[in-house]
Structures are given as C-alpha cells and as structure tokens.
A and B are shown apart, each in its own frame.
Chain A
C-alpha cells in the first residue's frame, strides 16, 4: 500500500447541493477522502440590498431587512429600527419594546429549531428535521396571527412595532411554551445524545477562543469556544435588563472545547433560555401604545451610527450614514455568517469531505447573510 500513488483532486461542491444551507460553493482540494483545503466561493445570492437602501428610503427599507436573514427576520428588523431611531432620536414606547422582545425571542427559537433539524438532516437522520418543522409550524401559526406573515415578517417599524398583540394571543403563547419545553427534552433524547451523532460531531472543526475573537466569529459559535459574551447581557439594549436569563457556554465535555458538538448544544440550551425570557415578558408586559409618532418621510440629521443586535446567528452590526435627505447615504450590515465563512479554509484542513458538511451545519451559516 505504501507504493500506492495518490494525487490531489480538485472537486466542486457546487452551488446546487442539498446541504450547503443556501447557495454556497466550495472548491475542495482533496487527497482521496481527506481534504487539504476547502475554499469557499460566495456571491451567488448577492442581491445588492445595501445599494437598494439608497433608493427606497428609511421606512421603505424595512421589508428588505427581512431578506438579509430570512430565518430570523425579527432581529434584522429590530436592528434597522434601532439604527434609525438612534439617528433620528426617536424613543420607542415600553409596550413596543416588550412586543419586540417577544417576537424576537420566538424567532430565536424558530431559527434554532431549523438549525438543529437541518444539522440532523446533514448528518443523515431525517426524523429530527420533521420534528423540528412540526414545532416550527406551530410558532409560525402564532406569529402569523400576530403580524400576518410566516417567514418575512416586516413586523417592526421605526419607532416600535406595527400591530399590538391580538386578544387571546398571550394565553395561546403561554400555552405553547408549556407544550414546547417537554418537546425539547424529547428532541434531546431522540438525537442529541445518540452515539453516532456525538461521534460524528465531536472534535470536528475546533475553534479556539483566540481564533474566534481574531476572526470575529460571533454568537453561539463564539460562546461554544468558551467566551461568555452575549450582547443582550454585556452591551444591553431594549428592555433586556429587565429579564433574568443565563448565557450558555460550551463546556467541551464530548470532545475538545469549541468543536461542533459544543456549537450544537449551545443552541439547544439557548432555546431553553429563550423560553424563560418569553414567560417573563408575556406576564410582565405593560399597557400603552406600541408605536411612536414618526413622520412619513423621515429625514434624520446628518451623521452616522453603529448598532449591534444579538441575532440568532450572533452579533449583527448595522452602520448607517445619513446625509440629511430622506434617503440613507450608506447602509452596511456586518453579519456573523460572513466571518464564519472566512474561517472555513483554516478549519477544513485534514477533515474528510463528509465532515465538511457537518462543519458547515454546525456553524449555522445562511447564504443571504454572507452575500446580502
């Protein structure tokens, strides 16, 4: 066998592939089954959202922010709303802030469910995907009653949210949370501690804490590497200081600290924390208006600002430059998935091709966040 002559192959894991989480393309340089490097090629979903902002104005940009990250659209809405409010010095009423937090935390649960389900599907298990979709459909029903849409919500406005909670919605939401907590334990029993699942994910794609901070990896990926950092706790915004919740951090008990299994478990534990926040928010929501009075053609004073929101995929940064007219001069979204993709050439050395699929699933990248 030592006289077997091997050569390096260049394979294309093309933009159409069932497990690339959107249109991503990888050029794999592989020596048999083991990879030397996986070079990502992005830009297949570049829809020039940043340039469109300069044409549609501040209020009109809100539906476009949904499409930046469609799986967790409430956070992008919130980020844009907060950036415009900071520029134009608008204050959101308290009930509006509570509605924002409720909608956002439901969206976090939905996004993590989809991430856990597709992770199971990429490893090869189809059943967790269907279980996750079943729960996600129930959350979609709740949110549809709230704002009319299942996926790209356009629920928040500059100055608050568009509609108040419908009558009877609070009770339905609390009943759903009671139903959801045991389902999460059932999900864990089904897949999370399954021996094959653990062995496929442990020790794959280890990101150390220094690497994570240097490459600007954020969100659950950063917390899985041991860094206890959450924008909701450390640079608080909105009404998050009113709530008591914990920030789960990777422990490294199945392999090395910062491997794919840690990233998966951090997401499962975050769902439990979101349920806690939701219960507190739904019981303590104050009365009042949900939307501040804002002029139709918003013309903030010239200046620039930066906002950071803790989205399901991590810290999302919005940088908005205004020049005093009714149209923004420059809008920039800096997302967590963009930085995570930049780390893949380094992480993929020595992995097998099937492990690359598990690695991408564990980083929870989504194509429009990378390409915008």
Chain B
C-alpha cells in the first residue's frame, strides 16, 4: 500500500484526530493529535490491511516553536512504511508511550527523553541512557549550552594555533 493510502485509511477511521496529511517530497507524512497516538498505532498494528508489525525508528526533532516526535512504522508482511508525527509544545513536552504495542520503543523513547527531554507517560523505566546519570540539560536541543566542566574535567581545549599566534606577536 502506498503511504498516502494508509493515511487516508487512518483518516476515515479517526476523523479529525488526524491533524494533517502532508504530501511532501521525498517522503510524505501524517500528523496525529498527541492524545490519540496510541489508539492510531494499535489500529495500524491490528488491522490486517496495514499489519504494521515493527516500529522501525522513533526520533525527536527540536524546531524553534515545537518539538516533534516522528515514528517510522514498517510492515514485514506488506512491505510498506508509514510515517507519523506528533507535535508537542516546547515546555514540558509529553506524550504516551508506545512500549505496550512494540517493545522496540522502550530504548528509543529513553534516548529521546535523554537527549531532547520529552516525557513519555506510562514508560516502565524512563531514565537517562546515553549521557551520565548526573548530566544536566538535554543536549540535542538547539538552545543547549555546553557546561564548562564536568566533575573537574574542563571541556575547553585551546587550539594550538592560538598559542602560536600569541607567540609570534
């Protein structure tokens, strides 16, 4: 099935909880209301026409006015992909977890929490995965400022060119 047909199917079933179907090149996507993402995904998982059996990728992207969580769904049986998006506000972004449908969401949502700061409601074990436990801040946000030191190790390294130029003068 073409991705646009999948989005039309979802729109028929869920009506105005589908906010937008964007027919962009090269990959079209579909924006869903954050409160109904779990129902939509459960429907796509169970319906035999779509039969989405794997969550291939889950990403968080930080735009200036919102944070988006992008889901790439894939079906091994029918070999089609669907791209769903959820738009969240930048203060306290929060969406329900997809862990109960596809277990691969567990670690991917931990990574999005760690690097972008999205809170996933209902997640069994939401804690930092890639950064150290006591790190402050969410690094993949566009307004992230690097700290000057971590446990006594300074993060600033002067380029040797600076010293060369200073020595020449």
Q: Which residues of A contact B (CB under 8 A)?
A: 42-43, 46, 48, 50-51, 86-87, 211, 213-216, 227, 229, 234-235, 303-306, 308, 317, 319, 321, 329-330, 332, 334, 338-339, 341-342, 371
Contacts and interface: CB of A to CB of B under 8 A. Distances in A.
B11 interface: no
A306 B29 CA distance: 11
Contact of B54 (A46, A213, A235, A303): A213
B126 interface: no
A214 B107 contact: no
A51 B140 contact: yes
Interface string B94-110: 00000000111011100
Nearest to A304: B27
A51 B62 CA distance: 12
Interface residues of B, number: 32
B107 A43 contact: no
Interface stretch (B129-137, B147-155, B156-164): B129-137
Given A42-B129, A43-B129, A317-B56, A306 B103 contact: no
Interface string B70-101: 10100010010101000000000000000000
Nearest to B27: A305
A306 B61 contact: no
27 contacts: A42-B129, A43-B128, A43-B129, A46-B131, A48-B139, A51-B140, A211-B103, A213-B54, A215-B104, A234-B79, A235-B79, A303-B24, A303-B25, A303-B27, A305-B26, A305-B27, A306-B57, A306-B83, A317-B57, A321-B61, A334-B56, A334-B57, A334-B59, A334-B108, A342-B103, A342-B106, A371-B130
Contacts of B72: 306, 317, 319
Contacts of B130: 42-43, 46, 371
A214 B53 contact: yes
B55 interface: yes
Interface centre among B24, B54, B81 (most CB of A within 10 A): B54
**Which 6 interchain pairs have the tightest Cβ spacing?**
A216-B104, A43-B130, A342-B107, A334-B57, A46-B130, A332-B59
A342 B27 contact: no
Contacts of A303: 24-27
Interface centre among B53, B61, B62, B130 (most CB of A within 10 A): B130
Given A305-B26, A321-B61, A332-B59, 11 more contacts: A51-B139, A211-B103, A214-B53, A235-B79, A304-B24, A306-B27, A306-B57, A317-B72, A329-B61, A330-B59, A334-B108
Interface of B: 24-27, 29, 53-57, 59, 61-62, 70, 72, 76, 79, 81, 83, 102-104, 106-108, 128-132, 139-140
B79 A332 contact: no
Given A43-B132, A46-B130, A339 B25 contact: no
Contact of B131 (A43, A304, A330): A43
A213 B129 contact: no
A319 B72 CA distance: 10
B140 A227 contact: no
A216 B54 contact: yes
Contacts of B106: 342
Contacts of A234: 79
Nearest to A346: B103
Interface centre among A215, A216, A304 (most CB of B within 10 A): A216
Nearest to A329: B61
Contacts of B76: 213, 227, 229
Contacts of A87: 26
B140 A50 contact: yes
Contacts of B129: 42-43
Contacts of A317: 56-57, 72
Contact of A319 (B24, B25, B59, B107): B59
Contacts of B26: 86-87, 303, 305
Contacts of A216: 54-56, 102, 104
A227 B166 CA distance: 63
Contacts of B79: 234-235
B45 to A, nearest CB: 10
B57 A342 contact: no
A370 B52 CA distance: 25
Contacts of A229: 76
